[in-house]
């Protein structure tokens, strides 16, 4: 994931996890992410142009429309770029999720279920996570034809672990937005209101 998307995710995650939408300056965001101020400035250009972000005189800004920023990020995200492993596993998705190594970060369906404390949306047969495939059980590295669950392991960016063992819902939404099938569509629909509530 490029630095622009890292900035977008951080703004959405801060709003989601802490209700924060206002920033006194670009430097504070840059310092938190250990990125150049120019990178944050460039990352805010398109969100400002479409009305997702409002800039203030003096250098501050506000996230005013999380939905627009969320959809902008979802449209730009290409998860194939960081896909490290895709295998079919002969176990239910929930069992695969339970057996992931401890330092793996759960995304997609499993992240939504974990963050909400249960599944009230739809059954699913795909596990999306971030981690090092070399840490997986040997049998999973081989996979099996006709397995009941598709396991997708992506290489995490250096900032992702700051949000805990389960990715924030905004990351889960973006990963599900880029996942084919009706279960992903149901899950993304269920997240829209939760991620874009009024300030």
Regions of the chain short of the pLDDT cut 50: 198-199
Helices 66-76 and 182-195, axial angle in degrees (round to 10)? 150
Q: What is the structure's pLDDT at 197?
A: 61
Amino acid 139: pLDDT: 82
| pLDDT tens-place string over residues 99-140 | 999 999 999 999 999 999 999 999 999 999 999 999 998 888
Q: Specify the CATH architecture of the domain 3-76.
A: Orthogonal Bundle (1.10)
| Domain ranges for the chain | 3-76, 79-195
Q: Tell me, what's the pLDDT at 141?
A: 84
């Amino acid at each position: 994931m490029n630095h622009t998307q890292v900035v977008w995710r951080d703004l959405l995650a801060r709003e989601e996890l802490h209700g924060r939408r206002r920033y006194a300056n670009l430097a504070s965001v840059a310092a938190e992410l250990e990125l150049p101020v120019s990178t944050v400035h460039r990352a805010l250009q398109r969100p400002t142009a479409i009305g997702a972000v409002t800039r203030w005189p003096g250098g501050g800004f506000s996230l005013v429309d999380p939905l627009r920023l969320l959809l902008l990020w979802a449209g730009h995200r290409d998860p194939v770029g960081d896909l490290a492993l895709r295998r079919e596993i002969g176990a239910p998705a929930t069992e695969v999720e339970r057996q992931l190594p401890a330092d793996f970060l759960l995304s997609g369906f499993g992240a939504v279920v974990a963050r909400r404390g249960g599944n009230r949306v739809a059954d699913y047969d795909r596990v999306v996570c971030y981690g090092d495939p070399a840490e997986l059980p040997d049998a999973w590295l081989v996979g099996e034809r006709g397995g009941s669950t598709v396991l997708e392991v992506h290489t995490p960016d250096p900032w992702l672990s700051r949000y805990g063992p389960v990715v924030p819902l905004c990351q889960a939404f973006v990963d599900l937005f880029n996942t084919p099938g009706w279960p992903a569509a149901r899950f993304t629909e269920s997240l829209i209101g939760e991620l874009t509530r009024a300030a």
